[in-house]
Amino acid sequence: MKNNAKAATASKPNALFVGVLALILVTLFILFGLMRPASAMDIKQVKSPGGIEAWLVESHQVPLVAVRFAFQGGSVQDPIGKSGVANFVSAMLDEGAADLDSATFQERMEDIAMRMNFDDSRDTFYGSFSTLTEHRDKAIELLKLALTKPRFDQDAVDRIRRQILANLAYEAKSPDRLASRTWYQSAFKGHAYGLSPNGDEKSVLAITRDDLETFRKNNFAKNNLKVVAVGDIDEATLGQMLDDVFGDLPDEAQVNVLADVAPKKGNGVEIVEMDVPQSVAVFGMGGLKRKDPDFLAGFVLNHIIGGGGFSAILMEEVREMRGLAYSVYSYLSPLKHSSIYLGSVATKNESIAESLEIIRSELSRVANDGVSEEVLKNAKSYLTGSYALRFDTNSKIASQLLGILVEDMGIDYVKTRNAEIEALTVDDLKKAASRFLRPEDLIVVVVGKPNGLKGL
């Protein structure tokens, strides 16, 4: 979770002009991007002179380049008792570097219309970077400084800490966030996955500047780095950029090795009381890992059950037919050391029990009966037809390719994915359902004042 509030910087006419120009160019890029189907992309594997590898999609129609990169090792690498370090680092890397303090660093980025952001998940630390070609060298230097020489000045640390604590206070009053946090605590008790990536008040107060720097040194390394570049840059220039930005990082990351873990099986409903008129439920159980041979069948099955918006079974049964909730959804969430199938529903306190009963019933029905050929056909049509929309801008292309690269799905996945979906049968989906769709295993967390539910 990245905190977006930053130190105020003075507005300058040239910065405004560059920003407007960037916006115009981004708009043009979108128009060009819409004309290029995903399957037609030429994805190149690039290796820098220093041995750093990346994927590249060249597009010289507009003078923009977008880079996405990731280090394997996110919040699960937080020190014991100091959960939230990775999140803290993600908010600090553009708060000054080398001889540039926070305000100056932000001003330099604004002057060249550069965009740089960082974020963390449980398994991965992400970075993104976009720049106009004419300012590429200056932007690359700022990115390098952020990754290799962040200042972590105490005044910036204190300011970001206050922002994180404010977010935690908000989270404690948000039924959705509290339900999700509690679900992970229950499902992965005693494992790093059970800790919130944002930390808690005690852990965040304990984090020091040295903790931030230690995390950076241990986790930012060449052997756990994945990079994708899209836009106005060729192979030779990208190779040089890779060495310029990442070449000074250590060869090997110093990370803790985690054991694989399965979420605990549910044995009832855990209720967290909150005086609100609407209860929020998060329900989930074990899922399928991304490289599991049944994952794609499970993905399509979930689209039919709870991932397909208004056409999904849960939405139809809970909202459309009975008017019990505005929204209900589910999704498969593969982790590096586990996998989960999660869903959520929010409704009036007096309706939450009935909603959960219907959800369990529909999951059981699909697990036992499967889905029809017509339903599968419609799901395939939507999922294959909409896939190109994930690749209609350089930023989207870079993000999608980075996800494929991080999950090690192979450089041809973009071209083969739709064919793999088209090849699925109702028997494939039923097999996937038998692997993870077990309503009796559901862990259910409800935040609110639910009527008709008995807690653990």
**What confidence tens digit (pLDDT) does each residue in 377-399 have?**
999 999 999 999 999 899 999 99
- Between CA 96 and CA 215 the distance in angstroms is 17
* Residue-averaged pLDDT of the chain: 92
Question: Helix axis angle, 102-111 relative to 136-148, nearest 10°?
Answer: 150
Three-state SS at 201: helix
Q: Where in the chain is the domain with CATH 3.30.830.10?
A: 13-246, 269-448
d(CA 325, CA 55) in angstroms, rounded, equals: 43
Q: What are the residues whose beta carbons fall under 8 Å from the beta carbon of 46, sequence distance 6 or more?
A: 53, 54, 55, 56, 229, 235, 238, 239, 242
Terminal-to-terminal C-alpha distance of the chain:
31
Name the pLDDT band for 267 (thresholds 50, 70, 90). confident
3-class DSSP assignment, residue 98: coil
Strand partners of residue 340: 286, 333
Lowest-pLDDT choice from 23-37, 267-281, 334-348 = 23-37
- Token pair, residue 395, equals 């930023």
Question: How confident is the model at residue 454, as a pLDDT?
Answer: 83
Burial (CB < 10 A; 0-12, 13-18, 19+), residue 78, is buried
> What's residue 139's pLDDT?
97
pLDDT over threshold 80, residue 1: no
- Tell me, what's the pLDDT at 440? 93
Fold for the domain defined by 13-246:
Cytochrome Bc1 Complex; Chain A, domain 1 (3.30.830)
* pLDDT tens-digit series, residues 156-179: 999 999 999 999 999 999 999 999
| pLDDT(28) > 90 | no
For 352-393, where are the alpha helices, taking DSSP H only? 352-369, 373-385
Residue 396 to residue 128: CA distance in whole angstroms: 11
**Which CATH number does the domain 269-448 belong to among 3.30.830.10, 3.30.70.980, 2.40.240.10, 3.10.150.10?**
3.30.830.10
**Distance between CA atoms of residues 183 and 389, nearest Å:** 32
What residues have CB less than 8 Å from 453, skipping those under 6 apart? 269, 271, 352, 353, 356, 446
Q: What's the whole-model pTM score?
A: 0.89
